[in-house]
Amino acid sequence: MSLTDSAAVDVARSASLASRRLAILPNAARNEALTALHHALDTNREIILAANAKDLEIATRAAESGSLNHSVLKRLDLSRPGKYDDMLDGILSVRDLDDPIGKVSLRTLLDDGLTLERISCPIGVLLIIFEARPEVIANIAALAIKSGNAAILKGGKESMESFAAIAKVVSEAIASSQVPVSSIQLVKTRDAVSSLLAQDSLIDLVIPRGSNELVRFVKDNTKIPVLGHADGLCSAYIHADADIDTAVKVIVDSKTDYPAACNSLECLLVHEDTLDSVFPAVATALLDKGVSLRCDAASRSALAKTLPAEKVAQIQLATETDYNTEFLDLVLAVKTIPSSGSRTSAVEAAIAHINAHSSKHTDLILTQSQEAANMFTSGIDSAGVFWNASTRFADGMRFGFGTEVGISTNKIHSRGPVGLEGLTIYKYLIRGNGHGAADYHDGVGGRKYLHTKLPTGQ
């Protein structure tokens, strides 16, 4: 589908209309559509993998000529062992989650026969823009249908053939169900993005899944709320009383488990008192894993005392830029937090550095002190605040959400790993019996509100 502005309006309007019909479908009807989707993707596996092979062929040539990153190639490949089955399983696990719609989170008796309820409902129309990963289509389609939202999906050029093949299968599967066909629409061409981003009266939420550049482009070019994160600049702070084994284990995992992930560690703050104890052990473990350290003067001097000279020679001095950089690689910036003043003032200094430099994704403290941990977790302005556990746990699957739409560094609506719940909002439902507000005006109406809290039944 090639999109002009008017075509984008048509896509968005049909999605909006579909979303209203989808909003009144019961959970069973939404689940049936997911079963049909699963079956269709299973049945058409060979066709889809053949299309994916074409994408891979083009991408491999591009990677060989240096015009495409090798990691894109890996993300594009649906034929890797287990990947296709994981995609299929994901649909069923979303299907089997509790219905996120119709949940009552507040119920108040306003007066006899006048009841207020706050009930979860779909947001409306989602626009999902992604790059290489073709399995995102199945994943997002499942989450959107389960949560009663219509979704417009826009794929990247690298996955064009896979996308077209999956799109055809998805559309046919949905057509066989009660879910309106326009609930899931797949658009391809490049110029579609700006036209779609302009539909702020019809599209309720944009979710970009891809590079930092993609997310920034989307945020800079739309008035529609954007859910996601551009950067994942995660920091760890080793407090004066940190346990050495815990620190080594957690820091090494945070930095080296998967350096290209947004929840990997990029900056390490070390309390001055640990420079000759905990820090050298952590640094040695990191260097052994091939991590390049970019240290400030104090932390580098501390390592110079304990490490062999050839290792110290490899340690670069950090620049200010390093503390604002998401390396996404085996590189870590290190900064010393002075011990001057009380121990709590060191925690405050660490909090101040992190709040000024981090991307509000996930930050970590290593300490044995409940007080220091409490200060850190309430003072840090990030979606995830972790105590003695790896930043790599910041993930919807690991959190037990089943699957995730993405990780949000927004300050409103949804923060951190966003699952089904983040695709819902609520409405206020009042049931009355001919009640008017004039009857309650002080001194005029005479009636008083009861405002009795009722059980929500959940």
Q: Binding to a second copy (CB under 8 A): which residues in 321-340?
A: none
Mask 231-270, x = binds a second copy (CB under 8 A)? ------------x-xx--xx-xxx--x-------------
Please say whether the beta carbons of 381 and 362 come within 8 A. no
Site map 383..422 versus a second copy, x via CB under 8 A? xxxxxxxx-xxxx--xxx---------xxxx-xxx-----
**DSSP helix/strand/coil, 188:** coil
Q: How far is the CB of 35 from a second copy (least distance, A)?
A: 23
- Select from 81, 309, 437, 458 the one that contacts a second copy (CB under 8 A): 437
Amino acid (1-letter code) at residue 417 = P
What is the rounded CA–CA span in Å between residue 270 and residue 242? 10
Near a second copy in 347-386, by CB under 8 A = 351-352, 355, 373, 375, 377-379, 381-386
What is the C-alpha radius of gyration for the chain, rounded to an integer number of angstroms? 26
Residue found under tokens 């972790």: 386
Q: How many residues bind a second copy (CB under 8 A)?
A: 74
DSSP string, 32-91: HHHHHHHHHHHHTHHHHHHHHHHHHHHHHHHHHTTSS-HHHHHHH-TTSTTHHHHHHHHH
Closest-CA residue to 420 (of 199, 99, 192, 87): 99
127 binds a second copy (CB under 8 A): no
Options 260, 313, 317, 429; binder of a second copy; rule CB under 8 A: 429
Spatial CB neighbours of 212, under 8 Å, sequence gap ≥ 6:
230, 231, 326
> Could you tell me the sign of the dihedral formed by the alpha carbons of 218, 220, 222, 227, in that order?
positive
Could you tell me the smallest distance in angstroms from the CB atom of residue 5 to a second copy?
A: 19
Binding track over 98-117 against a second copy, x by CB under 8 A: ----------x-x---x-x-
Question: In this chain, which of 12, 38, 95, 124 binds a second copy, going by CB under 8 A?
Answer: 124
435 binds a second copy (CB under 8 A): yes
Residue 204 is a binding residue for a second copy (CB under 8 A): yes
179 is a contact residue toward a second copy (CB under 8 A)? no
The verdict on 438 binding a second copy (CB under 8 A) reads yes
